Amino acid sequence: MHGQSMNFLFPNDVHIMWSLMIVLYPYITGLVAGAFIVGSLYHVFGRTELKPVSRLAMVASLSFLLVATLPLLAHLGHPERALNIVITPHFTSAMSAFGLIYAMYLALVVLEIWLIFRKEIVELAQRSTGPARAILKVVSLGVYDISEKAREVDHRVVKVLAALGIPAACILHGYVGFMFGSVKANAFWSTPLMPIIFLFSAVTSGIAMIIVLYETLTVVGGRKISGDCLQSLAGYLWLFATLTVTLEILEIVTLSYAQDEEWLVVGPLIKDKIAFSFIGIQMVFGSLIPFIMLAIIVTMKRYLTAGMRNVMTFVAASILLIQVFAMRWNVVIGGQIFSKSGIGFRENYVPELGSREGVAAALLIFIIPFVIMSVFNHFLPLAVEDGDTPAESH
């Protein structure tokens, strides 16, 4: 009888409550923060080699930010109540704090993008007629001065906003790691490293997404890929991917070496229940392979042709996007596989295809940011040419 009880789960402990949408949510917010950091490297730190992706990074951050709450709304039983966390905030609630952080960060990013594209908005308004002209005049907020002096002022304001946005982006995604790390009853989540791991992996996924978008849009648009820009992005990607994986490994090794009661749960979880997704996908395929590829790109660039570098960087970035998603999956789903009582494990979670929180809904939400970027690019081109306005140069 005692042997049978080892696999017993309480009735309310049988089902995975946080499903695919709660995996997608931190993944999208990570892309928001990571893409913003890329844009800030140019606007704040003067990394002029990143100029070709400066606008793309900012618009990508906004596009993913606009849909960041959709996975949560799809998961909620009453999504119409979501605004209550902003209207009636409770300052001891982490979720309520997120609502305020999200609103402030959204306002900051929208204002920064408006300043970056203000010259193009005014020029487009002057060329347009009818309703389009009226709408663009409203978007321009009645500010039509696009002289060199005015653009220099715009640039200084953009630099200040981008500087403020860096800690805001870190808080936005670090909060997600805090949400998991503060769950004391879960041995797999309750670690001070959780917010840091989430933050570094967010920057990794953001840089990887910008690389994939930049190479794709440049090739489709018939333009030449900037070697300096891609080489710099590959270096940053290698750095943050290395930091992320190192922290993840250190966390597991520390638990394994300590051999305390937490390892009695986490050990079998990693070795058995999520072995394929954690060891196979996240660590070997998702971490080791791109690490080697990026190390070659960064340390042996003189021996690589431009075509080889472009392909290797694209492949490594694509794999790292999978790796970060696998990390989110293993944390969110893996952390729910073992019983809250510490006795027994659930069956592995398999998402449905067509439910409200299924694969189809998740793919639809993930596609929306790319549609937003496509529409934005139709009116205000994301590609930055060498002869762009002085306000965008350093």
Residue 347 reports pLDDT greater than 70: yes
What is the CA angle 268-271-277, rounded to 5?
A: 120
Mean pLDDT of 166-184: 82
Structure-block tokens of residue 81 = 């109540």
* Nearest in space to 37 (alpha carbons), one of 240, 231, 196, 212: 240
Local confidence band at 4 (pLDDT 50, 70, 90 cut-offs): very low
Q: How many CB atoms lie within 10 A of CB 323?
A: 28
CA dist., res. 253 & res. 10, Å (int): 30
Mean pLDDT of 279-304: 95
CA dist., res. 102 & res. 329, Å (int): 23
Local confidence band at 101 (pLDDT 50, 70, 90 cut-offs): confident
Local confidence band at 330 (pLDDT 50, 70, 90 cut-offs): very high
pLDDT of residue 342: 62
CA dist., res. 272 & res. 305, Å (int): 43
pLDDT of residue 86: 72
Residue 393 reports pLDDT greater than 80: no
Alpha-carbon torsion, ordered 154, 59, 44, 208, to 10 deg: -170
CA dist., res. 145 & res. 148, Å (int): 9
pLDDT of residue 386: 47
Supply the pTM of this predicted model: 0.90
pLDDT of residue 140: 87
CA dist., res. 208 & res. 266, Å (int): 29
pLDDT of residue 191: 81
Residue pLDDT, tens place only, 252-265: 998 888 888 788 88
Q: What contacts 24+ positions apart, CB below 8 Å, involve 91-97?
A: 94/175, 94/178, 94/179, 94/182, 95/179, 97/175
Reduced to 3 states (helix: H, G, I; strand: E, B; else coil), residue 94 is helix
11 vs 36 pLDDT, higher one? 36
Residue pLDDT, tens place only, 236-252: 999 999 999 999 999 89
Residue 3 reports pLDDT greater than 60: no
Under DSSP, the state recorded for 50 is G
Q: How many CB atoms lie within 10 A of CB 78?
A: 8
CA dist., res. 224 & res. 238, Å (int): 23
Q: Are 98 and 152 in contact (CB under 8 A)?
A: no
